[in-house]
Amino acid sequence: MNCVNIEILKLNDKELINLSKKNTLSLNLKEMKAVKSYFKKLKRDPTDVEIETIAQTWSEHCKHKTLTGVINYSGADSKGKKVNITYKNLLKETIFKATAELNKKWCLSVFKDNAGVIEFDKLNGIAFKVETHNHPSALEPYGGAATGVGGVIRDILGVGLGAKPLANTDVFCFGNPDTPAKKVPDGMHHPKRIAKGVVAGVRDYGNRMGIPTVNGGVHFDDGYMANPLIYCGTMGIMPKSAIEKKVKSGDFVVVAGGRTGRDGIHGATFSSAELDKESDVSAVQIGNPIVEKKVLDTMLKARDLKLYRAVTDCGAGGLSSACGELGESTGVRIELEKVPLKYQGLAPWEIWISEAQERMVFAVPPKNVKKLLNLFDCENVEATVIGRFTNDKKLTLAYNGKTVGQLDMDFLHKGVPKTAAFARYAPLKETLRKPVKFNGTRIRESLKKVLADSAVCSKEQIIRQYDHEVQGQTIVKPLQGCAINIWGPGDAAVIWPYAVIKNTKKGIVLSNGINHQYGKADTYKMTASAIEEALRNAVAVGANPDRISVLDNFCWGNPEKPEVLGSLVRAAQACYDMSKKFGVPFISGKDSLYNEYTIRGKTFSIPPALLISAMGVIDNVENTMTMNFKRAGNLIMLLGITRNELGQSVFNRINKISGGIAPNVYPEESLKIMRGIYKAANAGLIEACHDISEGGLAAAVSEMAFAGSLGAIVKLGAVLTKENMTDAEILFSESNGRFIIEVKPDNAKKIKDIFKGSAISIAGVVTGDCKVEFGSDKVYISEKTGVLRSAWQNALNLF
Amino acid sequence: MEYEIEILPKKGFTDLHGARVLSDIMQAGIKDVKKTGYSPVYAIDGITKAEADLIGWEILSDKITETFFITESSTTAKDRGCKELSSGGEKVHAIEVWFKKGVTDTVSESVVKAIKDLGITKEVKVKTGHIYYIYGAVGKQVLEKIATTVLANTLIQDYKINELR
Amino acid sequence: MAMPKALIIRTAGTNCDFEAQKAFELCGAKAERIHVNELLTSASKILSYDILLVPGGFSYGDDIASGKILANEIKNKLGDKIKRFALSGKPVIGICNGFQVLVKMGLLPDPELFDQTATLSYNDSGRFECRWVYLKNEKNKCLWTKDLPEIITLPVAHGEGKFIAANSETLKEIEDNSQVVFRYVNADGSKADYPADPNGSVNAISGICNDKGNVFGLMPHPERYVYALQHPAREGFDGKYGCGKKIFQNAVDYLK
């Protein structure tokens, strides 16, 4: 196998585009022309290795061209006023900007490495990253999801000099599992098959890695049937001294872990027909968690022995991205024939861009090479020297002694022409609908339906398949309840890293927020709600709201469509606003664009989804909270204002009610309450805490009751509302900014003092008679907690 | 020689995986199937029959709950292990699922290691596959549908349908 | 005696070795996590330790069946040393994957026989499951469970934990000989159904020991409940500790 020259100098515009298409380069005309003019200066055509390298490095996945390109936006601003704005670099002007302006000194490494890092304690940092693996999971759910998990774990291994993974979180959006088989488009897997395969893939990879999967979510919408969303996240801990990496000229390039095959070349875009043609080609990435576990075990030893100066993972673009990144400021020369292969017959360019899994690339000082290779060898990890960092600022690729490619690092990393795109957006015009006057019977039926709805119901059958206790540090668990009978839905997870940090009392909280349904009204509200939900979840278990960082993860449709890009701009605006107002910095992020699919010639974009993942620090893990009611006789107190916000709510959907106003976010109100909760929790004044989200007050109280195997009486008249609302509206509104707390009667006054100036009311009392009761002057609703629990627990039937 | 070693539950032990497959088939909206069975299968090249027996007993099967059945890979009309489990004259089809060439087969690497640990140090090649038994009169089209929508992902796996009886 | 020294055997896919090490250290033992490759080059090293622990995880991915490949490796390459260690009366424990390894190589129930006479098969549910369970402590001769209360709680996390003996005679022997250490039960000690019994083990067996009581294997994870904080409701045993700690403490104290 050898490399060939690709004729480009002679090509006209049309031929350039054809070349890009034919070779699956995904470069547009402007970019192809930039490539052409670069090689014109060199007076030669590029080799296949060179053009593939450029295509990988300039890919949307690696460069985020859309979000960092020029966008001419016309539409609503944060206050809803119509404006025209030109963004030179949307990310820099919204998300990065907020982080820079907040300038938190506990943010240790943001937006520059494989993960964001914040301070844990004086000596240690914690790193967090969430990635998506949507397209591979649509094609091969098990392998796609497994390698999604494997990939994000490698991000944590590849941040700085490597962090030790402590926990995984996973959030999925699937099509409706009850979709009739005949409604599934040809060539696509049924949502249930996708869901089962994805869960199994996440389970098998995460469990085998020995990393607990502690938090997540599963969401269903027909819009994700052909294009599911698979978000995988990992959090890890590292000494502060391991946060920076620095390659030196003369260091050796070592690749360790799995062997290289044709896995995932050009992503999983091969059709099956093409696969058959070359039947030994595997377009799909197959994961092997045990190989990655061996890499983890050995590389952290090598890190502590300071045997290498830099490390990164092989993700999208494989070695080309990994070596290209590490050698950006020095230059690097790689001898491609040295890369260990799974089987013979790979062309040099295939070796270079293969996305074979479980590989890490190290920069190793010459004096340490032998030691490092030996350390890997002792535990059967294959590690090989494949090249050396230079000082010529060039990427040089050789194959059997012959140079097969040479590119200037500057051109490779900075030569991509800026794109310019148009964006426009108009949120849905929302109007308050006429009052929903349900009698007690209809409210009770609605409550059972809400609890059984796929957005609210128990995901226990998935959660239990993940080992959420391995490492022994999960002290606020995904399922909560009394004694060991735990099934209630925890808001967030808390990791107490006692096995890593001696005598620590501190903990790490992880939570998620995603509200794709509100995006149908306005992606600003969707984004603001997701951010607030992630914060609320974290605070509900005891996180300090002033020590929380977040990650963004955009899954959007085709950004070349102005409406799609417009909805994304609006989401980015909300990210900036909320980040500033809550004082919550973004530390890392990711975007997956072009999530669209074609059915019978018609192309659809997915409903946009923004996952916000929060990581926070807790000073004393003993003061963390769970959501189950603890004791009959305690008071149920409600924090936050209930507004008439039932637009896009679960209640409206199950009752086929259209219209209404989707929830807004009121950061000043919310933040004040969140700070109060942290204060009260640390004073030991809160027995249980739960945030109110999908399904509203009614669902939240029911969950707390059946999780604690207790009952509750709530007086609807005591709920503080902004406007006149009916009983059903009060019970099922999904207004943000609200919590339910359980308080001992003796502590009620102290609690009221802490929350002075915020909306707080005593809404009811915990009872021992296993009934959930809601009452007002008009209605009285009572249902056995057992009935509510079984409606909630038995609804999802995936397995 | 290449041998295929198929692992089966011993009489009296439930075939949990087989039962799961049946529920998956039902969930996929296919109602014609009444009973299914499952066997993992390992194709091992470079061993003798005696070594296949040893590997089947020591490594691939559980001594308490499972048994194994060996065939030569070169045999065309496969005599599969299910005949030991089912009696009577009912129809049986076997849907075999194997990875396509070039797809990483992680379990095979572990099996190679285990064979070495057992003291068989010569070079062996291992492929892993799955055999699904579909009992009863089920039409060709339905079998194809089961193979493609439930059992195999044709992107990475090949399947073949054999009528055993 | 000086500080007891525990050997924690690890290999590719082992993943509960850290927690186990911390548990031993908390109880006043020195614990080393040693890769099986290292033991292969110096097998006699094994006998220099006082306690042996085979931890949980997915050794070699649990490919073929859980614990199978590691059991095969240890038995064929380190078998006589491991057997000698077990017969010497020193404490040996296999947790979860480690239990599967001990049973599949035949170190349990009878290390003298050293042949597989029982197994841990797929859970009746057909799935991996992670949950907390109640265990009835049979208060037998096992040195690891001395002075534990009659009902304790521990987490389980496994897909293949269903204990099955080779035949009714073997089972009878295990029972008659008081080798059953723990059984899955309800909170009140009564017979449990799924999910309180998470896998459908014969006679609800979740842990057994050898005749001497020094070799102990169990599916639940005592190393995940050494502190009260690790319990879902923060319930402690012995103050701020969990009952898992007591299990490690027993082995350490036994050597003192």
In angstroms, the Cα distances linking A11 to A24, A45, A47, A425, B68 are 17, 11, 15, 38, 62
Q: What does the pLDDT read at residue A433? A: 85
Q: What does the pLDDT read at residue A7? A: 92
Reduced DSSP (H G I as helix, E B as strand, rest coil) percent helix, strand, coil of chain B, to 5: 30, 30, 35
B65 touches chain C (CB under 8 A): yes
Whole-angstrom distance, CA of residue A713 vs CA of residue A313 = 54
Q: What does the pLDDT read at residue B78? A: 65
In which residue are the tokens 């304690």 written?
A121
Of A61, A64, A135, A468, the catalytic one is A61
- Chain B residue at shortest CA distance from A180: B29
Taking only Cα atoms into account, the Rg of chain A, rounded to an integer number of angstroms, comes to 27
3-class state of residue B83 by DSSP: helix
- Interchain CB distance below 8 Å, C61 and B106: yes
Is C221 tagged catalytic?
yes
Of C27, C221, C231, C243, the catalytic one is C221
Whole-angstrom distance, CA of residue C52 vs CA of residue C214 = 10
* pLDDT at position A336 over 50: yes
* pLDDT at position A155 over 60: yes
Please tell me the pTM assigned to this model: 0.96
CA distance B16 to chain A (A): 13
Name which of C14, C62, C153 is nearest A484 (Cβ-Cβ): C153
* pLDDT at position A418 over 90: no
C31 touches chain B (CB under 8 A): no
Whole-angstrom distance, CA of residue A715 vs CA of residue A774 = 6
Whole-angstrom distance, CA of residue B47 vs CA of residue B41 = 16
pLDDT band of B164, cuts 50, 70, 90? confident
In angstroms, the Cα distances linking C122 to A712, C162, C209 are 41, 6, 21
- Interchain CB distance below 8 Å, C63 and B107: yes
Residue A276 located in a structural domain = yes
Whole-angstrom distance, CA of residue A467 vs CA of residue A479 = 12
In which residue are the tokens 């009886």 written?
B165
* pLDDT at position A276 over 80: no
Of C96, C142, C209, C243, the catalytic one is C96
Of C158, C223, C231, C243, the catalytic one is C223
In which residue are the tokens 């006699």 written?
C44
Q: Are strands C5-10 and C51-54 parallel, antiparallel or unpaired?
A: parallel
CA distance B157 to chain C (A): 19
Residues C75-88: tens digit of each pLDDT: 999 999 999 999 99
Residues B36-68: tens digit of each pLDDT: 999 999 999 999 999 999 999 999 999 999 999
Look at residues A446, A483, A478, A481 and name the one whose alpha carbon lies nearest to residue A459: A478
Look at residues B59, B83, B90 and name the one whose alpha carbon lies nearest to residue B69: B83
pLDDT band of A262, cuts 50, 70, 90? confident
Sign, CA torsion C234/C238/C243/C247:
positive
pLDDT band of A286, cuts 50, 70, 90? confident
In this prediction, residues C17-36 reach a mean pLDDT of 97
What H or E segment, with its residue span, contains residue A168?
strand A164-174
- The full DSSP string for B88-121 is SS--EEEEEEEEPTTS--HHHHHHHHHHHHTT--
- Interchain CB distance below 8 Å, C233 and A207: no
pLDDT band of A345, cuts 50, 70, 90? confident
Q: What is the 3-state secondary structure (H, E, C) of A584-626?
A: CCEEEEEEECCCEEEECCEEEECCCEEEEEEEEEECCHHHCCC
- Interchain CB distance below 8 Å, B114 and C69: yes
In this prediction, residues A152-172 reach a mean pLDDT of 97
In this prediction, residues B66-88 reach a mean pLDDT of 77
pLDDT band of A218, cuts 50, 70, 90? very high
Q: Based on the structure, what is the number of domains in chain A?
A: 1
Q: What does the pLDDT read at residue A301? A: 97
CB B76 within 8 A of CB B114: no
Which positions ≥6 away from A286 have C-beta within 8 Å?
A143, A147, A263, A357, B103, B104, B106, B156
Residues A50-70: tens digit of each pLDDT: 999 999 889 887 788 888 999
Taking only Cα atoms into account, the Rg of chain B, rounded to an integer number of angstroms, comes to 16
Mean pLDDT of chain C: 96
**Both tokens assigned to A387:** 């090249």
In this prediction, residues A608-619 reach a mean pLDDT of 97
Domains and CATH numbers, chain B: 2-163 (3.30.1280.10)
Look at residues A666, A674, A701, A681 and name the one whose alpha carbon lies nearest to residue A751: A681
Whole-angstrom distance, CA of residue A160 vs CA of residue A156 = 9
Count CB pairs under 8 A between chains B and C: 62
Residues A555-598: tens digit of each pLDDT: 999 999 999 999 999 999 999 999 999 999 999 999 999 998 88
CB < 8 Å to C77, chain B: 117
Mutation target among A270, A284, A342 for the B interface, most CBs of B within 10 A: A284
Which positions ≥6 away from A122 have C-beta within 8 Å?
none
Whole-angstrom distance, CA of residue A77 vs CA of residue A574 = 9
Q: What does the pLDDT read at residue A278? A: 38
Taking only Cα atoms into account, the Rg of chain C, rounded to an integer number of angstroms, comes to 16
Angle at A717 between CA A712 and CA A720, to 5 degrees: 100
Residue A286 located in a structural domain = yes
3-class state of residue C129 by DSSP: strand
C77 touches chain B (CB under 8 A): yes
- Interchain CB distance below 8 Å, C157 and A470: yes
Q: What are phi and psi of B140, to 5 degrees?
A: -55, -45
B31 touches chain A (CB under 8 A): no
- Interchain CB distance below 8 Å, C165 and B64: yes
- Interchain CB distance below 8 Å, A261 and B149: no
CA distance B114 to chain A (A): 15
C231: amino acid identity, one letter: H
In angstroms, the Cα distances linking A67 to A163, B68, C200 are 28, 57, 54
3-class state of residue C83 by DSSP: helix
Ranking A498-502, A640-644, B104-108, B109-113 by mean pLDDT, the lowest is B104-108
Q: How many CB atoms lie within 10 A of CB A713?
A: 18
Residues C96-114: tens digit of each pLDDT: 999 999 999 999 999 999 9
Q: What does the pLDDT read at residue A1? A: 61
Whole-angstrom distance, CA of residue C52 vs CA of residue C107 = 12
Here the CATH number for the domain that contains residue A382 is 3.90.650.10
Residues A192-205: tens digit of each pLDDT: 999 999 999 999 99
Edge-first strand listing for the sheet containing A82-87:
A82-87, A70-76, A420-425
**Residues facing A402 on adjacent strands:** A399
- Interchain CB distance below 8 Å, C127 and A208: no
Whole-angstrom distance, CA of residue C155 vs CA of residue C244 = 10
Mean pLDDT of chain A: 93
* pLDDT at position A111 over 90: yes
* pLDDT at position A282 over 60: no
The boundaries of the domain holding residue A278 are 250-390
* pLDDT at position A275 over 50: no
CB < 8 Å to A495, chain C: none
In angstroms, the Cα distances linking A588 to A315, A366, A486, C27, C42 are 16, 33, 33, 41, 47
Q: What is the 3-state secondary structure (H, E, C) of A335-375?
A: EHHHCCECCCCCCHHHHHHCCCCCEEEEEECHHHHHHHHHH
**Both tokens assigned to A472:** 């022994």
Name the fold adopted by C5-254: Rossmann fold (3.40.50)
Q: What does the pLDDT read at residue A229? A: 97
Q: What does the pLDDT read at residue A280? A: 40
**Residues facing C131 on adjacent strands:** C156
Alpha carbon distance, N-terminus to C-terminus of chain A? 47
C168 touches chain B (CB under 8 A): no
Is A61 tagged catalytic?
yes
Q: What does the pLDDT read at residue B88? A: 65
CA distance A197 to chain B (A): 11
Look at residues A642, A634, A639 and name the one whose alpha carbon lies nearest to residue A742: A634
Of A64, A133, A413, A468, the catalytic one is A133
Which positions ≥6 away from C33 have C-beta within 8 Å?
C8, C10, C17, C18, C21
Sign, CA torsion A702/A706/A708/A712:
positive
In angstroms, the Cα distances linking A626 to A2, A286, A708 are 61, 38, 10
Subunits with 3+ Cβ pairs within 8 Å of B are: A, C
**Residues facing A553 on adjacent strands:** A590, A611
Q: Are strands A548-555 and C205-209 parallel, antiparallel or unpaired?
A: unpaired
CB A228 within 8 A of CB A172: yes
* pLDDT at position A338 over 90: yes
- Interchain CB distance below 8 Å, A208 and C61: yes
Residues C116-146: tens digit of each pLDDT: 999 999 999 999 999 999 999 998 999 999 9
CB A70 within 8 A of CB A421: yes
pLDDT band of A534, cuts 50, 70, 90? very high
Q: What does the pLDDT read at residue A339? A: 97
What H or E segment, with its residue span, contains residue A414?
helix A409-414
